[in-house]
């Protein structure tokens, strides 16, 4: 959760329309609790969800008299974070430093985006959303007990269509994925990623409006470590355009919230129908994800125990993919680490994992502490 790329990136935390002047909204990002609120001027704010007085969650407070009032002793904080009222000492105010920690917030694509650090660049580009001819629909959020990279990986994976989404996005009789192109992608403003084009799939029902199957051409743009945008053009629906942007809100290391933003030419169906189609696709992915997680945990544990030099089970599934690494996404999700979440020094890895390490331990003492512990374990195992 301390990955510098993620800390300096923007992440969605709530639908923008949920931020109103009626009440604050709680959210969590990279392990940090946040309170979101909108002031009387219409400006949105994102603060650490912690009152500087006695630490109460500000998200259970009230928006009133031009500020956010804490539910415990009623201290009221102005939009700039300054305390403007202390009910028990009406003539006094605390030191100016008694402000909630604030974060940057922006509203784009119907979502509120927060950056916990100094933003490395703007909120990602999604030009289809800026096209006034396309209809925009926000789907989700979907809570998934998995890391962000794994969710992006699934979004890009066409080989699962015929199995997980049989009858909708895939056909069990047509499982082969043909070759497609992958090129570097750039937004011209320092943002880089990858783009896959000429990705073809036969789909029985490619969207909620489709009747009968069609050959569908996909493109995928991975524009941020935790954002991928696809477009799909079905052969048989002339003039139909659809772009779906998948944004992962990294809540904790192993827990994510997925937001989908669609921009499309489907103006015929109501929003509930459009959302229901995406919900169904997501439900199928979620069932598969659960099975994968349970399987991973058993497999990794037994495989490494059998072959490993030490009885330290390794947990590998949070490893960023090469694609994530190519985008500069380097740490936070440690690789490899044991089930207690500790970094495992390279010389203790099984042969096939040697050289696979690409991050540093989170602090200089960590490696020494873990080595000491592993040495003790080894001695115990060898009966020394
Ligand atoms: S804890 Fe917030 S006012 Fe006391
Ligand atoms: Fe899927």
Of 300 and 55, which is predicted with more confidence?
Answer: 55
Among 29-38, 114-123, 202-211, 346-355, the minimum mean pLDDT is found in 346-355
Predicted pLDDT of residue 220: 96
Choose the residue to mutate in 67, 73, 81 for probing ligand 1, maximizing ligand atoms within 8 Å of C-beta.
73
Of 189 and 358, which is predicted with more confidence?
Answer: 189
Q: Which ligand is nearest to the CA of 53?
A: 1
Residue with tokens 């991973």: 296
Confidence tier at 323 by pLDDT (50, 70, 90): low
Q: Where in the chain is the domain with CATH 3.90.380.10?
A: 127-295
Among 1-10, 89-98, 197-206, 296-305, the minimum mean pLDDT is found in 296-305
Is the pLDDT score of 162 beyond 50?
yes
Mean pLDDT over 369-382 rounds to 70
Q: Quote the CA–CA distance of 51 and 74 in Å, as a whole number.
A: 10
Q: Is 54 in the pocket of ligand 1 (CB under 6 A)?
A: yes
Minimum CA distance residue for ligand 1 atom 3: 73
Q: Quote the CA–CA distance of 252 and 250 in Å, as a whole number.
A: 6
- From the list 259, 183, 199, 257, the residue with the least C-alpha distance to 228 is 259
Among 140-154, 218-232, 276-290, 291-305, the minimum mean pLDDT is found in 291-305
Domain 127-295, what fold?
Naphthalene 1,2-dioxygenase Alpha Subunit; Chain A, domain 1 (3.90.380)
Contact between 255 and 236 (Cβ < 8 Å): no
Predicted pLDDT of residue 382: 73
Cα(154) to ligand 2 centroid in Å equals 6
CA torsion sign for 187, 188, 194, 196 is positive
Mean pLDDT over 217-221 rounds to 95
Confidence tier at 253 by pLDDT (50, 70, 90): confident
Question: Could you tell me how many residues make up the chain?
Answer: 384
The rounded mean pLDDT for the chain is 83
Minimum CA distance residue for ligand 1 atom 1: 54
Mean pLDDT over 363-380 rounds to 67
Is the pLDDT score of 233 beyond 80?
yes
Predicted pLDDT of residue 379: 77
Mean pLDDT over 285-292 rounds to 79
Is the pLDDT score of 201 beyond 70?
yes
Q: Quote the CA–CA distance of 100 and 156 in Å, as a whole number.
A: 39
Q: Is 72 in the pocket of ligand 1 (CB under 6 A)?
A: yes
Confidence tier at 6 by pLDDT (50, 70, 90): very high
The CATH code for residues 4-115 is 2.102.10.10
Cα(344) to ligand 2 centroid in Å equals 33
Residue 109 vs residues 124, 233, 260: alpha-carbon distances, Å: 10, 22, 10
Q: Is 73 in the pocket of ligand 1 (CB under 6 A)?
A: yes
Predicted pLDDT of residue 299: 52
Predicted pLDDT of residue 305: 37
Cα Rg of the chain (Å, integer)? 24
| Residue 70 alpha carbon, nearest atom of ligand 1 | 2
Q: Where in the chain is the domain with CATH 2.102.10.10?
A: 4-115
Mean pLDDT over 338-367 rounds to 51
- The percentage of the chain sitting over the pLDDT mark of 90, rounded to a whole number, equals 61
Contacts of 336 (CB under 8 A, 6+ apart): 314, 315, 316, 319, 344, 349, 353, 356, 357
Q: Is 75 in the pocket of ligand 1 (CB under 6 A)?
A: yes
Confidence tier at 354 by pLDDT (50, 70, 90): low
- The percentage of the chain sitting over the pLDDT mark of 70, rounded to a whole number, equals 78
Is the pLDDT score of 362 beyond 60?
no
Mean pLDDT over 287-300 rounds to 66
Expressed in percent and rounded to 5, the helix, strand and coil fractions of the chain are 25, 30, 45
* 136 CB burial (10 A radius; 0-12, 13-18, 19+): middle
């Amino acid at each position: 959760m301390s990955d510098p790329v993620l800390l300096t990136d923007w992440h969605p935390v709530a639908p923008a329309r949920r931020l109103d002047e009626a009440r604050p909204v709680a959210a969590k990002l990279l392990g940090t609790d946040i309170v979101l609120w909108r002031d009387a001027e219409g400006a949105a704010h994102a603060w650490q969800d912690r009152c500087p007085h006695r630490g109460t969650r500000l998200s259970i407070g009230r928006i009133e008299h031009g500020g956010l009032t804490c539910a415990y002793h009623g201290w009221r904080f102005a939009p700039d974070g300054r305390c403007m009222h202390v009910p028990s000492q009406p003539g006094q105010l605390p030191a100016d430093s008694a402000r909630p920690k604030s974060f940057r917030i922006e509203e784009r694509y119907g979502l509120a985006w927060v950056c916990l650090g100094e933003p490395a660049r703007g909120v990602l580009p999604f030009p289809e959303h800026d096209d006034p001819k396309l209809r925009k629909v926000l789907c989700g959020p979907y809570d998934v007990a998995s890391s962000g990279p794994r969710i992006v990986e699934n979004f890009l994976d066409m080989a699962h269509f015929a199995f997980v989404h049989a009858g909708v996005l895939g056909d069990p009789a047509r499982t082969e994925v043909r070759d497609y192109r992958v090129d570097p992608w750039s937004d011209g403003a320092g943002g880089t990623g990858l783009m896959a084009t000429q990705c073809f799939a036969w789909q029985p029902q490619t969207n909620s409006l489709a009747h009968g199957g069609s050959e569908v051409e996909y493109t995928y743009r991975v524009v941020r470590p935790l954002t991928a945008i696809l477009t799909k053009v079905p052969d048989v629906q002339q003039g139909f355009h659809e772009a779906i942007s998948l944004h992962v809100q990294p809540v904790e290391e192993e827990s994510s919230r997925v937001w989908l933003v669609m921009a499309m030419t489907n103006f015929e169906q109501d929003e509930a129908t459009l959302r229901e189609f995406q919900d169904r696709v997501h439900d199928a992915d979620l069932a598969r994800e659960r099975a994968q997680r349970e399987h991973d945990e058993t497999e990794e544990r037994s495989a490494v125990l059998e072959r490993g030099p030490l009885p330290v089970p390794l947990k590998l599934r949070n490893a960023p993919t090469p694609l994530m690494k190519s985008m500069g996404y380097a740490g936070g999700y440690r690789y490899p680490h044991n089930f207690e979440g500790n970094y495992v020094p390279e010389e203790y890895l099984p042969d096939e994992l040697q050289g696979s390490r690409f991050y540093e331990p989170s602090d200089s003492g960590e490696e020494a502490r873990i080595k000491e512990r592993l040495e003790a374990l080894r001695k115990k195992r060898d009966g020394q």
